[in-house]
């Protein structure tokens, strides 16, 4: 069905279903903190009260809650404040992420990390994004908000097991929501964590296991289930402010939640919650070396500031005489400078820039240029971010066996970033590398203002950045979402659950500073733009050259689902449970190209447009064969309207030979459905390249053995584009995974877990896996691989009969790659309570990646990426550190709480096989400097955060957070392209530095 035909029908059905909820009967009452039970996507709530659980009843993660945990107030409430309306009675039936059934045992065969609002508050974590991305299982491919140059700019996404954001499924209260309208790297779909309510989060459950048998596509690496508070009575609020030690990066945050009605007393609860957050930008110039420059010569590296070797493109224009082959066509320069480059402005380089002279190889010319520190002038470590939203939540206890809910929310996340000024020379999407300033303007006069060679009848080659035209981007994402559901019990051992949801996301994108090709050509041919002294240009001239580019991308998700469960008969360990369910969902994405007519220079070209329906049926059987042995089996069949289907099975076993020890394991198969970008979109990426010596020789180069030098400008380094188009015949990615582990609780105050995971992905979708072969075949004059083509560059005017170099390699997405990864998860929990006034809690969590083996195509070998900066492309150069972990120690004494949390990321080698074809620094280092050993090894990073609070009275609490207490600097990572000289995925706070926050929580 088309979106127009299907969506209204689905929403009308949803409305009728919502009206029918009131009349249904069923369910045992859920207590206050139990989240909505969704079919196939259930959630867990630890029992409240001082109950000493069996070892299998302990949560499995360092930051997890246990049966002894208290209920924290909404948002980032500090520990020890119980919420009105909370049931503090004995354990009741609950539900757990990854199973259909209610149970009293929170420990399933699958490993789950539970991040409670209490533990997050103690860690000083205030957002869902920071919470999820703090866990040790989040690895390569994770998307930080600070990476504003990426295809998915303005967002935040989680990548469990390093399988990219598209292999981790994010849920809200157990149901799906709309994806971010842009795709990561123009390919992978994911949910933006920045548009999820923070103030009412009860906990975040992270299922670190393949879960396609319960949830369908995309749950290969695991599931992140964000669970909202179900009952809030009274008024709760938070006011917080913070600033970095350097005096920038100011933060303001406020929340207010109002609720009324107790489920047990009045049979209903309704609350409204609003929140606001603003983070000021942080600029590289306000940080010390090495984050404020690309000149690393003082520590043995290279100087990569533009202009360090003249000529270069800075905001000070430099020109040289050249030839224009076609009168009136400013793009028809030969690319050859027939004289020395010189600074166009007679006053020399702009303020803050340094004059540089360099003898030109093979000639007597001495070129001039201006060195500029673009990082200091324009670089941002942190963009400006503003987010706000409101949520309304209602729960009705229809009778003692029936409960229904409705939740609706609107959230907006606005990310603004600044960048370097636009370059006049580019290859995207039109080649302006040989652009010239003509000798004669369109009105027939000499171009003396911009071209000092005009009276000689010569055109001028130019190198320039438009420093008088600020470059900025704004990504304003809006998400409106509504969900309703009911769950209950009836008859003898029957249970049911049903829900509906609809979510719509629209992203408004505003780009400033990009060059319009037609406007640029007009400005140059008429002489209206002053390159010699840009300060003299008018606003109208600048606007004509660089008009604001606005676009909008959208995504949708509508879903209906339901499940029925039945206790069939008793086994020695409990009832044999069977559950069956089904769902229908509609997905759509409309991300049109921002540059459809190729008129905007250097603006990324990517698109994804499509819609589909997915029909699913699933089941689960839980058999407690013995009191010590539980076997759980599940399966799910998904059919996509594109024409493919998939069945995903899973089996899990938990064995508890003694009360203090539980053994667990799972085996599952799963899949990732192709994204709309992969089936019907397109994406263009660029990289620096030089033609092979065989081609350079045709353009005048001199060959010496296997090296070549000289010749026309055609032989110089240039940007080659790789254009990847959607493939409607693409197949889903497949996965096989298994886990095995142990949960040990020798005493009531100590527990720890260890789990092994092993995941294999096949038919991994990759863009243009044979692009290099196609490029080699083009230059060799042989047949290109099927589906591949090469767009040649313009003819070299100096050698018109020579073969043109490749400008674009055009290729399809293909099921070509494969991946295998394995590792170990560890966690430990210590809880001591020597007196009623004193509590000590210590939580630790760590992940050790044993292998991350990847191959680009069937013809390639597997290469282990662990401990390197690969996978370079899919992880934005974040790499795959072998170890990640965190350790939290908290002391509660009467009204005071003090907590220290340490985060650790191991070092790695700054090499990327998938980018350079080797794991040696000599040729494989992502730095690419003259010394291949420089910064080949990136050091480990440890960040310690400190939080404290004092309860002034029952209604008011003060707290403080010190993030990066020791002011640790991010280790040097000169080759990371997501940030300047550091890795923002794991060490962002090391570039920001020590940050302080103070705030207050109030309730009444």
Chain segment 687-730, per-residue pLDDT in tens: 778 889 999 999 988 888 778 888 877 887 777 888 999 999 99
How far is Cα 420 from Cα 283, in angstroms, rounded to an integer?
12
Location of structure tokens 């957070």: 961
* C-alpha 227: how far from chain center: 20
CA distance 431 to 793: 8
Q: Are 284 and 973 in contact (CB under 8 A)?
A: no
**CA 415, CA 423: separation in Å to the nearest integer?**
24
What is the predicted pLDDT for the residue at 652?
A: 96
Q: What is the DSSP string of 403-467?
A: EEEEEEEEEEEEEEEEEPPPBS---SSS--TT-EE-SB-TTSSB-TTT-TTGGGT-EEEEE-B-T
Question: Bridge partners of 169?
Answer: 223
CA distances from 727 to 388, 674, 682, 767 (A): 38, 10, 9, 10
- Residue 338, H or E segment: none
Q: Which residues pair with 213 in a beta bridge?
A: none
Tokens of 583: 């769902």
In contact, 703 and 636? CB cutoff 8 Å: no
Question: Which has more confidence, 471 or 717?
Answer: 471
| Coil/strand/helix, residue 695 | helix
Measured CA to CA, the distance from residue 677 to residue 679 in angstroms comes to: 6
Reduce the DSSP state of residue 481 to 3 states and report it.
strand
Residue among 674, 585, 580, 561 at smallest CA distance from 635: 580
Whole-angstrom distance, CA of residue 47 vs CA of residue 66: 8
pLDDT at 142: 84
Query: What's the CA gap between 258 and 967, in Å, rounded?
Result: 38
Beta bridge partners of 345: none
Most confident stretch, 99-103, 181-185, 331-335, 673-677: 673-677
Q: Which residues face 460 on adjacent strands? A: 321, 437
Half-sphere exposure of 28 toward its Cβ, with a 13 Å CA cutoff? 13
201-221 burial, b at 16+ Cβ within 10 Å, e below that, comes to: bbbbbbbbbbbbbbbbbbbbb
Residue 99 near residue 622 (C-beta atoms within 8 A): yes
Residue 140: per-residue pLDDT: 84
- Is the Cα dihedral 431, 434, 440, 441 positive or negative? positive
Residue 788 CA to residue 776 CA, distance in Å, equals 12
Got the DSSP string for 929-963? -SSTTTT-EEPPEEEEEEEEEEESSSSEEEEEEEE
Instruction: In whole angstroms, give the CA distance from residue 856 to residue 815.
Output: 10
Query: Is pLDDT above 70 for 281?
Result: yes
Task: For the chain, give the number of residues.
Answer: 1004
Q: Assign 482 to helix, strand or coil.
A: strand
Q: What is the DSSP string of 276-300?
A: EEEE--EEGGGS-TTTT-SB-GGGT
Q: CA-CA distance, 649 to 488, in Å (whole number)?
A: 27
160 near 470, Cβ under 8 Å?
no
442-456, 794-808, 903-917: segment of lowest average pLDDT: 794-808
Residue 921 has pLDDT above 90, yes or no: no
Higher-confidence position of 295 and 101: 295
pLDDT for the residue 357:
95
What string of DSSP letters covers 122-152? HTT--SHHHHHHTSTTB-TT-B-TT-TTSTT
Residue 26, pLDDT above cutoff 60: no
Of 76-90, 491-505, 532-546, 824-838, where does mean pLDDT reach its minimum?
76-90
Residue owning tokens 């030089």:
690
Confidence of residue 105 (pLDDT cuts 50, 70, 90): low
The pLDDT value recorded for residue 84 is 32
Band the pLDDT of 312: cuts 50, 70, 90.
confident
Please tell me whether residue 211 adopts helix, strand or coil conformation: coil
Q: Is the pLDDT of residue 59 over 60?
A: no
Give the number of other CB atoms < 10 A from CB of residue 568.
12
8 A C-beta contact, residue 400 and residue 28: yes
SS3 for 694? Answer: helix
Q: Does residue 96 carry a pLDDT above 80?
A: no
Helix, strand or coil for residue 4?
Answer: helix
Tokens of 270: 């309704």
Three-state secondary structure call for residue 764: strand
Q: Phi then psi for 824, rounded to 5 degrees?
A: -130, 135
Among left, alpha and beta (phi > 0; psi -120 to 50; other), residue 711 is left
Question: Does pLDDT of 862 surpass 90?
Answer: yes
Cβ pair 806, 778 in contact under 8 A = yes
Q: Looking at residue 205, what is its pLDDT? A: 92
Nearest-Å Rg of the Cα atoms of the chain is 30
pLDDT at 63 over 70: no
Yes or no: say if 85 and 233 are a contact pair by the CB < 8 Å rule: yes
623: tokens are 């058999």
Is 606 or 528 the better-scoring residue by pLDDT? 528
> What tens digit of pLDDT does each residue of 358-403 get?
998 778 999 999 999 999 999 999 999 999 999 999 999 999 999 9
634 neighbors 581 (Cβ within 8 angstroms) = no
Average pLDDT value for residue range 596-617: 91
Distance spanning both ends of the chain, measured CA to CA? 51
668, 713, 936 from 764: Cα distances, Å: 17, 39, 29
Query: Where in 150-306 does DSSP place strands (E)?
Result: 168-172, 201-207, 222-228, 234-244, 251-260, 268-279, 282-283
Q: Are 63 and 114 in contact, with CB atoms under 8 Å apart?
A: yes
Residue 951 C-alpha from the chain's centroid:
37
Q: Nearest to residue 24, comparing CAs of 575, 588, 441, 401?
A: 401
Cα–Cα distance, 171 to 223 (Å, whole number) = 7
Q: Where are the alpha helices (DSSP H) in 762-817?
A: 771-780
Q: Are 142 and 131 in contact (CB under 8 A)?
A: no
The whole-number pLDDT of residue 673 equals 96
Cβ atoms 944, 900 nearer than 8 A: yes
* Cα angle 291, 879, 975; round to 5: 40
Question: What is the predicted pLDDT for the residue at 932?
Answer: 82
H helix count then E strand count, the chain? 14, 46
Taking all residues of the chain, what is their mean pLDDT, rounded to a whole number?
A: 87
Confidence class for position 994, pLDDT limits 50, 70, 90? very high
Nearest to 37, CA basis, from 394, 398, 486 = 486
Asked whether the beta carbons of 982 and 935 are under 8 A apart, the reply is: no
Q: Is it the case that residue 40 has pLDDT exceeding 60? A: no
923: confidence class by pLDDT, cuts 50, 70, 90: confident
Task: Establish whether the linkage from the previous residue to 429 is cis, with ω within 30° of 0.
Answer: yes
Helices (H), 629-703: 676-680, 693-696
| pLDDT value at residue 793 | 85
Residue 334, pLDDT > 80, answer: yes
Task: Return d(Cα 305, Cα 599) in angstroms, integer.
Answer: 29
């Amino acid at each position: 069905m088309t979106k127009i035909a299907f969506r209204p029908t689905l929403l009308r059905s949803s409305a009728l279903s919502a009206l029918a909820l009131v009349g249904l009967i069923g369910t045992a009452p859920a207590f206050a903190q139990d989240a909505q039970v969704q079919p196939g996507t259930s959630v867990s709530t630890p029992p409240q009260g001082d109950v000493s659980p069996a070892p299998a009843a302990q949560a499995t993660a360092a930051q997890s809650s246990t049966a002894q945990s208290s209920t924290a107030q909404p948002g980032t409430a500090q520990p020890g404040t119980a919420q009105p309306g909370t049931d503090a009675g004995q354990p009741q039936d609950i539900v757990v992420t990854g199973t259909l059934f209610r149970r009293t045992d929170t420990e399933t065969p699958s490993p789950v990390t539970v991040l409670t609002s209490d533990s997050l508050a103690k860690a000083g974590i205030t957002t869902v994004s920071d919470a999820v991305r703090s866990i040790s299982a989040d690895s390569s491919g994770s998307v930080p908000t600070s990476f504003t140059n990426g295809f998915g700019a303005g967002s935040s996404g989680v990548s469990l097991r390093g399988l990219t954001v598209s292999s981790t499924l994010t849920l809200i209260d157990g149901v799906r929501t709309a994806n971010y309208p842009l795709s990561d790297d123009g390919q992978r779909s994911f949910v933006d964590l920045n548009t999820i309510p923070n103030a009412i989060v009860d906990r975040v459950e992270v299922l670190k296991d393949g879960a396609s048998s319960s949830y369908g596509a995309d749950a290969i690496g695991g599931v992140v289930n964000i669970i909202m508070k179900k009952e809030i009575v009274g008024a709760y609020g938070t006011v917080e402010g913070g600033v970095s030690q350097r005096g920038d990066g100011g933060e303001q945050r406020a929340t207010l939640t109002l609720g009324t009605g107790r489920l047990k007393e009045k049979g209903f609860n309704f609350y409204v919650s609003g929140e606001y957050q603003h983070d000021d930008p942080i600029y590289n110039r306000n940080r010390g070396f090495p984050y404020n420059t690309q000149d690393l010569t003082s520590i043995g590296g290279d100087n990569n500031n533009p202009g360090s070797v003249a000529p270069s493109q800075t905001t000070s224009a430099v020109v040289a005489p050249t030839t224009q082959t076609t009168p009136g066509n400013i793009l028809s320069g030969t690319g050859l400078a027939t004289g020395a480059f010189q600074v166009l402005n007679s006053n020399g380089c702009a303020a803050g820039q340094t004059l540089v002279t360099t003898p030109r190889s093979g000639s007597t010319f001495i070129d001039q240029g201006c060195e500029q520190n673009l990082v200091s002038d324009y670089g941002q470590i942190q963009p400006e971010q503003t987010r706000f939203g409101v949520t309304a939540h209602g729960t009705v206890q229809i009778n003692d066996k029936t409960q229904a809910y409705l939740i609706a929310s609107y959230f907006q996340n606005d990310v603004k970033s600044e960048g370097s000024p636009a370059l006049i020379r580019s290859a995207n999407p039109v080649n302006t590398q040989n652009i010239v300033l003509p000798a004669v303007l369109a009105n027939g006069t000499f171009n003396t203002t911009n071209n000092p060679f005009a009276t000689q009848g010569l055109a001028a080659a130019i190198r320039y950045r438009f420093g008088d035209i600020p470059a900025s981007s704004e990504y304003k994402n809006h998400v409106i979402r509504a969900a309703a559901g009911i769950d209950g019990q009836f008859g003898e051992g029957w249970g049911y659950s049903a829900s509906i949801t609809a979510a719509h996301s629209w992203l408004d994108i505003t780009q400033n500073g990009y060059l319009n090709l037609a406007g640029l050509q007009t400005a140059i041919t008429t002489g209206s733009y002053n390159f010699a002294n840009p300060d003299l240009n008018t606003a109208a001239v600048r606007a004509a050259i660089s008009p604001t580019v606005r676009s909008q991308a959208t995504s949708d998700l509508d879903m209906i689902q339901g499940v029925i469960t039945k206790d069939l008969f008793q086994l020695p360990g409990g009832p044999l449970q069977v559950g069956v369910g089904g769902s229908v969902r509609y997905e759509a994405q409309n991300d049109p190209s921002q540059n459809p007519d190729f008129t905007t220079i250097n603006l990324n070209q990517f698109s994804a447009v499509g819609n589909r329906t997915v029909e699913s049926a699933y089941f689960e059987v839980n058999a407690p064969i013995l009191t010590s042995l539980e076997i759980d089996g599940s399966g799910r069949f998904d059919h996509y309207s594109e024409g493919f289907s998939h069945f995903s099975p899973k089996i899990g076993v938990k064995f508890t030979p003694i009360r203090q020890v539980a053994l667990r394991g799972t085996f599952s198969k799963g899949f990732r459905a192709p994204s709309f970008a992969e089936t019907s979109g397109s994406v263009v990426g660029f990289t620096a390249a030089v033609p092979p010596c065989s081609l350079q020789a045709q353009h005048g180069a001199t060959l010496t053995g296997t090296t070549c030098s000289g010749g026309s400008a055609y032989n110089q380094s240039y940007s080659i584009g790789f254009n990847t188009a959607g493939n409607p015949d693409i197949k889903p990615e497949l996965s096989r995974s298994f886990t095995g582990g142990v949960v040990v609780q020798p005493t009531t105050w100590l527990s720890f877990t260890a789990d092994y995971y092993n995941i294999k992905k096949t038919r991994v979708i990759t863009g243009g896996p044979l692009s290099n072969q196609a490029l080699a075949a083009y230059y060799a004059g042989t047949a290109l691989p099927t589906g591949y083509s090469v767009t040649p560059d313009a003819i070299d005017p100096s050698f018109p009969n020579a073969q043109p170099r490749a400008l674009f390699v055009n290729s399809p997405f293909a099921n070509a790659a494969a991946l295998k990864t394995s590792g170990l998860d560890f966690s430990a929990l210590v809880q001591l309570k020597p007196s009623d006034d004193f509590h000590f809690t210590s939580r630790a969590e760590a992940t050790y990646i044993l292998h991350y083996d990847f191959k680009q195509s069937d013809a390639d070998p597997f290469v282990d990426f662990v401990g390197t900066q690969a996978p370079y492309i899919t992880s934005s150069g974040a790499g795959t550190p072998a170890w990640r972990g965190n350790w939290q120690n908290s002391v509660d004494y009467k009204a005071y709480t003090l907590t220290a949390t340490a985060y650790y990321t191991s070092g790695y080698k700054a090499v990327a096989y998938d980018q350079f074809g080797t794991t040696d620094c000599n040729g494989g280092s992502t730095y690419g400097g003259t010394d291949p050993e420089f910064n080949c090894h990136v050091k480990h990073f440890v960040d310690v955060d400190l939080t404290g609070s004092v309860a002034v009275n029952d209604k008011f609490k003060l707290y403080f957070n010190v993030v990066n207490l020791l002011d640790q600097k991010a280790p040097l990572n000169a080759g990371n392209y997501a940030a300047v000289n550091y890795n923002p995925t794991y060490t962002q706070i090391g570039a920001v530095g020590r940050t302080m926050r103070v705030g207050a929580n109030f309730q009444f």
